[in-house]
Amino acid sequence: MDRRVMTRPVMLVTGGSRGIGAATCRLAAAAGYDVAVNYASNRDAADTVVSACREAGASAVAVQTLVESETDVIAMFDEVVGALGPIACLVNNAGIVRDQVRFDEMSVERWREMFEVNVIGSFICAREAVQRMSTRHGGAGGSIVNVSSAASYLGSPGEYIDYAASKAAIDTMTMGLGKEVAEEGIRVNAVRPGVVYTDIHGSGGEPGRVDRVAGGVPMRRGGQPEEVAQAILWLASDAASYITATTVNVSGGR
């Protein structure tokens, strides 16, 4: 067996083919992790991230999975463990946003999709990570870092209240799960990005949104994906060994 597989910790990043997820994968590889890049549909983008991770000296694989599918997620965890070894860190990053509209114009179908991906998907992944990491289940411990959003406390009126509410659910899960498994070798934390230059804003119908709202950020600029990824890597690392059930804002002071 390749000795690196035995000694390098493994990080699984959902939604790892773009934006904050892709930046996290690249930084993780440089920091000494082997990396599993989860993606929903864009194989080329995932392969690009995998190649960058390998160039940094990591073993890396791309795994296509819809996180809202319990069957798919279980298969993903098994595939990653088989390819790279036990997972030391899960980054729950996969998420969606839809067109900016008023709450009273949103459909039930939209709400169901939003919560299935952003909430249930993150819940399933966290559950599977706990079942494998927890010392209660014979695991060696580990770390879960959830990607929330400043929207969870700003509310996103007139844009996407449903997205904000889904991220508020992630905040609560982070706090509760972090306390629940604190004695089982698992730390659970989250980051709340503010307005960050990623293509998710295009999914909301306004690709240039960051530039429009940056003036309302105390630092007067949008963030870069790498700035959020640095916080994720810190929370995942031993440098944050006494931190759990905590959410860190990476929002320029907003």
Question: Cα–Cα distance between 77 and 73 in angstroms, integer?
Answer: 6
Res 7: pLDDT: 78
Length of the chain: 254
Q: Is the pLDDT of residue 2 over 50?
A: no
pLDDT in tens, 50-60: 999 999 999 99
pLDDT value for 202 = 66
Instruction: Please check the confidence at residue 208 and state whether its pLDDT lies above 70.
Output: yes
Identify the three-state secondary structure at position 12.
strand
Q: Could you read off the pLDDT of 7-17 as tens digits, one per residue?
A: 799 999 999 99
| Residues facing 189 on adjacent strands | 145, 246
Where in the chain does DSSP place strands (E)? 10-13, 34-39, 60-64, 87-92, 142-147, 186-193, 246-250
| Average pLDDT for the chain | 95
Is the predicted pLDDT of residue 40 greater than 90, yes or no? yes
Q: Rounded to two decimals, what is the model's pTM?
A: 0.94
The DSSP output letter for 239 is G
Structural domain harbouring 214: 3-250
Beta-ladder partners of 12: 36, 90
Buried b (16+ CB within 10 A) or exposed e, 199-208: ebbeebeeee
DSSP reduced 3-state for 63: strand
Residue 7 sits in a domain whose CATH number is: 3.40.50.720
Query: How are beta strands 246-250 and 60-64 bridged, if at all?
Result: unpaired
What 3-state DSSP class applies to 13? strand
- Residue 209, pLDDT score: 86
The DSSP call for residue 215 is: G
Return d(Cα 177, Cα 183) in angstroms, integer.
Answer: 11
The enclosing H or E element of 245 equals: none
Q: Confirm whether 163 is a catalytic residue.
A: yes
Per-residue pLDDT reduced to its tens digit, 118-141: 999 999 999 999 999 999 999 999
Domain count, the chain: 1
Q: Is the model's pLDDT at 206 over the cut of 80?
A: no
The predicted model gives 53-71 an average pLDDT of 98
Task: Find the catalytic residue in 39, 160, 163, 242.
Answer: 163
